[in-house]
Amino acid sequence: MTLDDSYLQKFGFIKRETLGSINIDPLQTGGLLTEAARQTLTEWGDGYSVCDFCGGILDQIKKPPIHDFVHKALPEFLGCDEARVTNGARESKFAVMHSMGKSGDWIVLDGLAHYSSYVAAERAGLNIKVVPHTGSPDYYLDPEGYGTAIEEVTKESGKPPVLALVTYPDGSYGNVPDAGKIASVCHGYDVPLLLNGAYCVGRMPVSAKEIGADFIVGSGHKSMAASGPVGVLGVSEEYAPIVFRKSVHNKVKEIELLGCTARGATVMTLMASFPEVVKRVRNWDQEIENARWFSAKLEDLGFIQRGQKPHSHDLMFFEAPGFYEISQKVKNGRYFLYKELKSRNIHGIKSGLTKFFKLSTFGVGREKLGVVANSFEEILKKYENV
Ligand SMILES: Cc1ncc(COP(=O)(O)O)c(C=O)c1O
């Protein structure tokens, strides 16, 4: 028997190596749990814990107050008419794509769209038309490109796309596109717009209504201080009956949500962090200042920040010629940077990257950002004469 006790031991309690590090990983900075969420995690960690008093649908549960969270707090926070909790941003996107289109229809995506937008569209059987960006160094997305893409789809397929999507901001450069303009271009062709706010909802102020987006998607584990996987989905009144249509077999269950979504610790941590998330969003100007301050410090060291400048998001992409040069000379090659940062308790730049990497300054604060910038400088100096 291979699954003997000594083998099974390795799956028991596992300590996390990076816990307590200065974290600049874009995937992780917005998902660090608040104290309330940390306590909630053990309190509500048992399987179907939230279903003690369930009448049949997750979003209608009153004890704990999931109903109020989903039907009152979330729509207001997202600036939409109807909201739901999902198992992640990708699940939210898939629910919209699958309900808005049928196999063989077209969708328009921005050139910086995340892979999960592609796979969601593929799973829904949709064809994809991409709105190009301008490439290096700005990766600018021209809102008028949506008009061109919509016209091309209409010409080639005989009908307009069923949906357009904009990534706000994108996960590579942290560029915040002019989503309001994109919404009005799309609406000029009667094409609804989905705002992928995986890096925005829970970090920065956003309102689907103010932007004019018909759908808004967020990621709880990425930007709302929740344990994953969990996401949010906001929909306008017009499209809510389509996306949230119910099963003919089980009259209370919504088809796209497969009846119920985040039914345990994930939704509870999302709710537990929500009061602080609402507050931290109000602090966004300070977060932008911190990002710009950090970027300027790195540029003083010879790094080059790619993407929008001045930058308007904590996610930033850097070119680091100094680190790259070192990687070409030292024994550990391209892993030297990861090791140097690890020894300084800094986590978040992918192991093996030196020439280009992205990072996030969200919630890190000036003091720790200063430590990171100083560490970069120290590392450059350390290898100056190698
Ligand atoms: C821009 C963007 N959208 C969506 C996602 C997916 O989010 P989730 O894990 O909630 O599905 C990511 C994850 O990296 C992302 O970077």
Taking only the tens place, the pLDDT of each residue in 86-107 is 999 999 999 999 999 999 999 9
| pLDDT of res. 386 | 80
| pLDDT of res. 119 | 98
Q: Measured in angstroms, how far is the CA atom of residue 143 from the centroid of ligand 1?
A: 22
Domain definitions of the chain by residue range: 5-24+283-382, 35-280
Secondary structure (3-state) at 383: coil
Distance CA 170, CA 165 (A): 11
Q: Measured in angstroms, how far is the CA atom of residue 182 from the centroid of ligand 1?
A: 21
Q: Kind and range of the H or E element at 127?
A: strand 127-131
Distance CA 303, CA 331 (A): 23
Binding site membership of 150 for ligand 1 (Cβ less than 6 Å): no
**Tokens 């038309």 map to which residue?**
129
Interface confidence: ipTM more than 0.90: yes
pLDDT higher than 80, residue 332: no
- Give the position, in ligand 1's atom list, of the atom nearest the Cα of 221: 10
Task: Give yes or no for a contact between 183 and 211, defined as CB atoms under 8 angstroms apart.
Answer: yes
Binding site membership of 194 for ligand 1 (Cβ less than 6 Å): no
Distance CA 262, CA 280 (A): 24
Q: Measured in angstroms, how far is the CA atom of residue 37 from the centroid of ligand 1?
A: 21
- Give the position, in ligand 1's atom list, of the atom nearest the Cα of 91: 11
Binding site membership of 266 for ligand 1 (Cβ less than 6 Å): no
Question: pLDDT tens digit string along 31-49?
Answer: 999 999 999 999 999 999 9
If you classify domain 35-280 with CATH, what class do you get? Answer: alpha beta
Spatial neighbors of 212 by CB under 8 A, at least 6 apart, are 179, 180, 183, 184, 187, 193
pLDDT band at 54 (very low <50, low <70, confident <90, very high): very high
Distance CA 307, CA 317 (A): 7
Q: Measured in angstroms, how far is the CA atom of residue 5 from the centroid of ligand 1?
A: 37
Would you list which residues are annotated within the binding site for pyridoxal 5'-phosphate?
Answer: 89-90, 196, 219-221
**Which of 93, 206, 217, 222 to mutate to test ligand 1, by most ligand atoms within 8 A of the CB atom?**
222
What's the CATH architecture for 5-24+283-382? Alpha-Beta Complex (3.90)
Distance CA 240, CA 258 (A): 16
